[in-house]
Structure 1
Amino acid sequence: MLINLGLDAVAETVYRGMLAHPGDSLTELGSRLGIPEEDLRGALDKLSELALVRASSDEPSQVHAVNPHLGMEILLARQQAELAAQQQRVEASRAAAARLISEFAHEQSSHSNASVRYLEGVDAIRDYLAALNNQVDEEFLTFAPGGAQTPANMRASRPLNRRLLERGISMRTIYLDSIRRDQPSVEHAEWLTSHGAHVRTAPSLPNRMIICDRREAIIATDSDNTEVGAVAITSPGLISSLCALFESEWHSAQPLGATPAQQPGKLTPQQVTALHLLAQGATDESIAKKLGVSPRTARRIATGLLTHLNARSRFQAGVHAVQEGYLPSSPA
């Protein structure tokens, strides 16, 4: 009962026993309480340290328990002193934190202006998102390219997503179609939907992006390596354009639970996207990153397109794709 005042269970039992039976010797007390002599002496040392016992005035060889009214006042005063010391440490820490923030404020301003702020490295991005998480009021929109999600990203995002969804925030996320073949990523997406989020997939995405309440967006600075850094944008004009881009991609994306039916002789959305990339001269590695698949899978998709189009080369595949209506006859 008195653990919060610094008394453990054994010490409290001994103190209560001494108060109830002041005439007991230590041997009698230990026998009455069923406490071994070593534990009894340890408890007495603790009680002495807390000033709850002292040598008896009548018999110096005996130990006397301090009156409980005085004893509790001693413990409460001790705890109040510890709390005051802790408060002083908190105030000192707060002052030190304020000095640190002030010291590096110019570093942030050198990378930002009124509507754009640069975030360098994945840790800075995660810190910014954690702070932004508490400011979201209504909506959280996400482009999540890169294919299969890494365990680190899923672990880092789940607590933030849970808090948003528990607050009733509308969350919509678009992943790449390729996550449908990665079970951990599918399970993570299904976890999101089970908590109220809406998830769709698309053959490709332009970049990693998050939009909060249609008033702030975070975009990766390098679409090929999204952990390098990001920019946080608040310009209304840019935000409006990014929201329109998201809605366009959302409209054409497939809900997570849906399985797009492929018509015989037709190309899948992923194949169509790969075909456009091939026509632009993209390498297998570039196609792999865009589709969120391995280079080996990208080569297999390209080989399948050549077979489908009855072409012997990528150039010939482009010609046949135009002839069959898969690609426009001239650049848009």
Structure 2
Amino acid sequence: MARPSLQFLGVGREEEASYRRLLRCGATDPGQAVPDDVPADIADHLVELGIVTRTHTGALRPVPPARAVERLIERRLDRLRGELEDAAEADGIVDSLRKEREPAGAPPPVPSDAPTVQQIEGMEAVRAVIDELTFFARTESLTTNPTGIITPESADFSRPIDLRILRRGVRMRTLMAAPALDDPTTLSYLRELSAKGAEIRISHQPLERMIICDRHAALTPIDPADTSKGALLTREPGLVATLVTLFDRMWAMAQELPGQDDELLSEIERRILRALYDADKDESGARDLGISVRTYRKHVASLMTRLHAGNRFQAALLARERGWF
């Protein structure tokens, strides 16, 4: 029976052979030096794939198998998702399906040179429009949040949309009201997005709520005081341009998202966080850093407290999401 292979996850034969060899060396003798004859290009590719890391000495260390396969799956899914989204846009399937909702004998479409404003009623319908607009965004996404608060429910709804935009390389600019700085959930989510490339600023001046995609379509509330009533969707060039100008003016007056606690991290703490993410055991992490296991565990306990993490692996994931290493 043929041995299972990583090829279906995008790992070539030579890369897999090198990764397996690194695993064997580590399993045979935890203190043994890893092979130093892995070709440089293969080593670089293994690191890029996320299944091998380099220690502070430059030595190669294999990521534990379960975590390595998880990273390969996530990488493959991200690529597949992007390909499917591009294919769906090119095929026009969304427009085709949308037409099924149009009643028979519907009036002809509004002329292209006439103002186009559509009233969207109810939060469910508004969220559907947001999802559709962002799905087709290709260059820029501009958003504001006048309350400055993102609830856990809102974060759960927004996360796949925001990450999809950033994964596609769309420039994301987000303006948040000042209360964001005092809300842990909001601040954590904003820093998560910032670590993935989003541009975020904090405004101490009143903000007008809006979402603008590709400077082509804009969504504003029907009633700014009660967003549950719905929104207005406009594709009229003059109105969209005016809203973009307003956004740029508010953006210029806002401040950058304050630096994270990483400014307070020592170099040893950064290295420990990387070790938590890559090492199987405290002993191997401490050995790589050249410190005692007791000192290593003392730093780990402190970092877990700062991150409000329930375990070591969660602490490593939270730190990575916040861009701490």
TM-score, normalisation: structure 1: 0.45
TM-score, normalised by the number of residues in structure 2: 0.46
Larger radius of gyration: 1
